[in-house]
Amino acid sequence: MLKKCTNCTADLRIEDDFDLAKIADSGQCFRWERAAQPACYRIIAGADCIYVTDLGEGRFRFEWSELSERDGCVPKSEWNGSIPKHWFDYFDFDTDYRSIRAKIDPAEDPYLWRASEAGRGIRILRQDPWEMLISFIISQNKNIPGIRRCIEALARLCGERRTDCRGEEYYAFPTPEAVAALSEEELAGCKLGYRGKYVLAAARAVLDASIDLDSLLETSEQETIEALTGIYGVGVKVANCVSLFGLHHIDAFPVDVWIRRILEAEYPGGFPFERYHPYCGIYQQYLFAYARNQAAG
DNA sequence: AGGCAGGCTTTTA
DNA sequence: TAAAAGCCTGCC
């Protein structure tokens, strides 16, 4: 395998929902950052990095490095169209979000319909389950800027230092091995507070195979939640976030403080999970973003 | 048994 | 100063 780095660029037309700013602010990903140029984001996912620029009129430019030191070069046979399948899957481009939004009846559920209109452009990314596990353990009782800071500090502490396709440095999300090797003193610099011991416990659980995240891709929703909540520091809410964002169980429905307020105010009879099966997680994301944006004014 | 109050680290607004 | 994509422990 050649260690020669090839920088790749592809312009794609995305017909379906795809709004970079809305996804970046949606609270499902914490390592999207605005790049210097307008309408451009640098996205770090696992060990890899990609730039995406909104060119307008549904066209997007993708810029990535073909070489992944962790995975080797991605052969063209594993591309999907003009970008690697790895990235195509990350953005969940196989799923038609417009049709999923269209299932909402504005007369039957006007609140969710308004939320989905406001949230048009959001997608549920297919992110790495280990990265989601650690990210959402860190998220508890923190707001989103604080979560980003902690994750970045952890990546700088024990993630692999790399160079992206524009020659900028970044730090890969740390491996379970790297996290489990940390002492509590080393981890203290990340300012995780009481969550630090949860992060270490999760890394050890993954390493000693008391939890097998990849196997949960095939597991029922209930079994998945039970397995995840068996990890010290993981409750029902975090387990649902890992299920939705890391395992792409798009029926998972994390209930946090924002969603609880919405359910109390707008769904006094209970949220109609049966009606919205198997897309509850996507609708949850519209509700979450809507509530936060209403609060922000 | 299962539900509930209190505590937990730190940052943000 | 209160709140933040919560969870654990101990008490009843």
Write the pLDDT tens digit of every residue in A205-236.
999 999 999 999 999 999 999 999 999 999 99
| Bases of strand B lying below 7 A from some protein CB | 8-13
- Rounded Cα distance between A108 and A272, Å, is 11
- What is the spatial distance between Cα A120 and Cα A18, in angstroms, rounded to a whole number? 8
Q: Which CATH architecture has domain A7-99?
A: 2-Layer Sandwich (3.30)
Summarised one tens digit per residue, pLDDT across range A168-219 is 999 999 999 999 999 999 999 999 999 999 999 999 999 999 999 999 999 9
E strand or H helix that includes residue A276:
helix A273-276
Nucleotide C4 C1' to residue A288 CA (A): 14
Q: How far apart are CA A91 and CA A87, in angstroms?
A: 6
Looking at domain A129-246, does it have CATH number 3.30.565.10?
A: no
Fold match between A7-99 and A129-246?
A: no
* pLDDT, tens only, A233-269: 999 999 999 999 999 999 999 999 999 999 999 999 9
Mean pLDDT of the A101-122 span: 98
The DSSP secondary structure of A174-188, one letter per residue, reads PPHHHHHT--HHHHH
Separation in Å: B9 C1' and A203 CA: 20
Q: Using the CA of A192, give the nucleotide whose C1' is nearest.
A: B9
Please determine, for residue A70, whether its predicted confidence score (pLDDT) is greater than 80. Answer: no
- What's the predicted TM-score (pTM) here? 0.95
Q: How far is the CA of A264 from the C1' of C1 (A)?
A: 26
DSSP reduced 3-state for A61: strand
The predicted model gives A33-61 an average pLDDT of 97
A178, A79 Cβ separation under 8 angstroms: no
Domain-wise residue ranges, chain A: 7-99, 129-246, 257-296
What pLDDT, on a 0 to 100 scale, did the predictor assign at position A80?
A: 80
